[in-house]
Structures are given as C-alpha cells and as structure tokens.
Amino acid sequence: MRREKKKITKYFLPLFVIFLFVGSMFGVMIGGISNDDGSVLKYGDAVFKKTSRGTYSFKLSGADYEIFGEPETAEQILSDFPDLFFSEFAGASKIYLNRVNEVDEVVENIDAFIYSLYTNLASSKSLVFSCFSEYKGVEECKNLPLKSCEDAGNGVLFFDFSKSEENSIVYGGGCFSVSGSDYYLTTVVDVIVLKHLGVLNG
C-alpha cells in the first residue's frame, strides 16, 4: 500500500513536560488522576481538569484518562491524519509501539509518547512495546519483541515515533511513522487518544 505523507507546521514544547508526563502516567496506573490546579474546561461531553503538571485529566464511563494538551489543540491537526488511519486503528488486532529510536547517532528513549498511548488505551486495544532488531542489546529492549514496519498488515499496526526538525506523518500498510518536535508528537498522541475514545469528532 502506498504511504501517505503529510507535513504539519512546526511546534515546540519544553522537554521537561515530556518527563513530567511519564511520571504522571505511572500515577494514573497506581492511584488514579489527581492534583488538578482548579482550571476546568468542557469539550463535547467531557470535562477536562488541568493538573499541576500542566496536563489535562478527564473521566469517561468512570475511567480516568490524561492527555498532554487542550482538546482544541488536538482538533487543529485532526485533518492532517491520513484518511484510513483511524478506521484501521479501531479495527487493529494488535499494535506494536516502538520504544527507542536513533537521532544523530544517539539512541533516544521515546517512552513519554508511547506510555501515554499505553496507559490511556491498553484497556481497549492490544498494545505491545517493541524494538527494532538493531537495538536488541539496548537496556530498554531486553525481553521485548523485535518488530518493524515489515511486521505490519492484516490487522497488525506498527507505531514509530522519532524526533525531528520537520513534522510529518507517514502511514500505509499498517505502518504509522511520526516525526517532529516534542510538541507535535504529544499532539499526535492526544489526537489518537481522544479520537479513539470518541471525544474528538470529525
């Protein structure tokens, strides 16, 4: 299947927000979402509370969720996603989340992005952490399945996030490759979470 690539405007986000979010997602798994700063906004039928970490928490059907930014921000790039992506994501039997990537010969851990997907959606989707075979010796990849875009297709998706100066989405054949700034990557994650949960329409 031909891959579809769409470039999006550059965004920027202080790196510390990424690390704070990783800690916050562990908090969700252990004790639920708390520590909001009192700011509340409504989007559709969902009520979002801004946390002291700068993220946004909300409840749906009694379950807790947390995203990086305001839902209106995610809405702005919804139309930049390839047409087939959301239907194939909804119907996927398994989704592999690549855990590390290499930028300028430095292996980077991209857990902040994939952990947000995992903690928000693991109850409804089969999400599996994985690594490219060339990183099998990296600490984060020990005991993880070695997967790539070649393993995608027939209901199996492969997600690959990487940091770059240019923001882009490439999707085809079950392979979802996203590159860009921290802010762009976090917004992409928010779109996927909100769209899958039915909060984001369109």
DSSP calls for 176-189: EEEEE-HHHHHHHH
Residue listed under structure tokens 């002291």: 52
So what's the pLDDT on residue 103? 53
So what's the pLDDT on residue 108? 63
Quick one: DSSP state of residue 197? T
Beta bridge partners of 118: none
So what's the pLDDT on residue 158? 98
So what's the pLDDT on residue 38? 67
In terms of phi and psi (left: phi > 0; alpha: psi -120 to 50; beta: otherwise), the region of 120 is alpha
What pTM, to 2 d.p., does this model score?
Answer: 0.81
So what's the pLDDT on residue 7? 39
Beta bridge partners of 146: 131
Burial of 21 from C-beta contacts in 10 A (0-12 / 13-18 / 19+): buried
So what's the pLDDT on residue 72? 95
- CA neighbor of 138 nearest in space, from 98, 183, 177: 98
Which whole-number Å values give the CA distances from 148 to 67, 94, 168, in the listed order?
26, 13, 19
So what's the pLDDT on residue 30? 37
Stretches where the chain sits below pLDDT 70 are 1-38, 103-109
**What is the β-pairing status of strands 127-130 and 94-98?**
parallel
d(CA 99, CA 26): 17
So what's the pLDDT on residue 139? 86
- Which residues are CB-contacts of 1 (< 8 A; sequence separation ≥ 6)? 172, 173
So what's the pLDDT on residue 106? 55
